[in-house]
Structure 1
Amino acid sequence: MKLKPLAISFVALSLAACGGGGDSASTSGGTATQTPAAQTVSGVVATGLPLSGAAVNMTCASGSGATTTATDGSYSVAVKGAVLPCVLTATSSDSKIILHSVVPGAGSGSSNATAHITPLTELLVAQLGGQNPAQFVAAFGPTTAVSATAVSSAQSALVSVLKKAGFDPSSVGDFIAGAIAAGSHQGYDAILDTLQSTIASANTSLSELSAAIANSTGSTTAAASTLGTILAPANADCTSLKSGDHRLIKLSDGSAKLATVDATKLTVAISGTTYQLTKGATSCDFQTSLVPTAIPKA
């Protein structure tokens, strides 16, 4: 008779051992509940140089998270039970630089994803959303669709128009998840360096370029022409004087000629002959005597 209680105790212990599962599940009324897996998103925030101490905020179709970048611009944020897609905003420690990016997809995430946040992703979001990236992020909600196909198509269209405008980022195969070493001046980082120098030479800004991309409608040629004007080198004393082809109109009879201006060298080429421009009394007043100038051979 004494063996029976021992047998019952052994069975109870065996059942308890079989029911073990750590933190992966819990029981309530006999029903197992699986703990939601976390969606981890990591990447680099950089403009060429890494953005250290930048605040990164991620909002998904369901779930959100935040973190701060390390000294090399890297970040990682995990959100339990997150539902894709997600949008990201990175704000520099001095709040002077704000960049955006996206994590495409749909449904619950349960794996790692890479999403860099750079000037190229800023332009990509402008192309993808057809609006200011900050407005796109502000309007993002549970029903916003951001598919991998849509992102890929947007990048292809953006690369095409930027190449025609004179800036070629095509060597970066994936703006969002491509390999990058911030500050290395190689690969992706080198393209960011070139973009920054192009923007500085044109005396424009990333926000102006982004707005032009968002507002570009119609043909690729027309969009490239607009971006080409924005990205053209500008004169240091007169930002409205841009290098490139201009139409020279003779006021006396309305006739026109094509003139190619070099805003940095202050020259204008008309019908194969190059003339020197000289500054007038005001910053954007330039004159030429239409006397050809000697241009040294390269």
Structure 2
Amino acid sequence: MQVEILKQFFGKKIFFGGYASTRSFADGYVRARVWRACSLPRPQFISEEITMSSGDSKSITNGHNTTWVIVRVHIEQGWVFEAQGSVFYETSSFPFGGVVFAFSDSQIRLWVPKRGTGSSSANGVPFNAINGWGESGDFGYSKTVRVRAFAWDFKSFEQNPIVLEQTSHIPEGFISHPHEYHFHDNILLLFSVKAERGNNQGYQFYPAGSSMTDGTTDRDNKKFGSFVYGFTDDTIYFWTPVGYASGCVLLLDGLWGSQNQQHCLSENDVTLMITFNVFTIIEPACGVFPCAGASDRGPECICTGSGAKQQFCDNVEEEKMH
């Protein structure tokens, strides 16, 4: 596992919220939290592998009431990254890119930006880690990636999630959680911003924990975004762009998104949804059955002749008699 850090940024005065803190940090501490696939409950949905490159827009039929979605991005060098739900600026003539996703109860949408006007081969790619993000490391950029989506439904867990906040608008500043809970390692804290209007109405986007823009606009980038959050042990803080015409709480415009799926939404157009789940489930992936080893889908159980099917051996189906 490697972590690349350029700079944490919480905006100038163009971002509001969290006591209007406007600071940047050149240094900080990083802690990785890792769950093994065998320690998580089974995903209700695993997509097929999808190939994506510059300008691609894909839609996956999920068919489940979705609470948590992970979209893994596999690049040529064998590394695995995760797609995100935030776009910070519309376009660039310099290296930029990524895979952005959103989800509803029945669909998962994926976007890779189109190429911009610049001459760089890393312009508008599904993975970019150059120009400050890994010039001396193992990473560069990838023009083509393999993507796979995983979706969970918390209602199927033995312990349902606790909804901290679900409101038709974004309140200003911070949210305190119930006193009996703290954001320790066994808590999965999820933020999403749900589009209530526009071309992606009903879709949820995951916000980021730091801003990749200071809100500067020019003739190419007339808009910027997006929602940014952070939290302490007992309080959630968040920031949104000040209500200028150029600031978007949810941005998917410019080179991002297909022509009928673009948007720039304000605080009045979105719902902030925050949930956290206390993980008390330890469910061995294969139980008493052997495991075929790791794959990009997760553990694959050998359930032949057991009456159990698919990824987890306790997923029982009647076998047909031959």
TM-score by length of 2: 0.23
Which structure has the larger Rg? 1
TM-score by length of 1: 0.24
Higher relative contact order (CA 8 A, sep 6+): 2
Q: Which one has a larger percent helix, Structure 1 or Structure 2?
A: 1
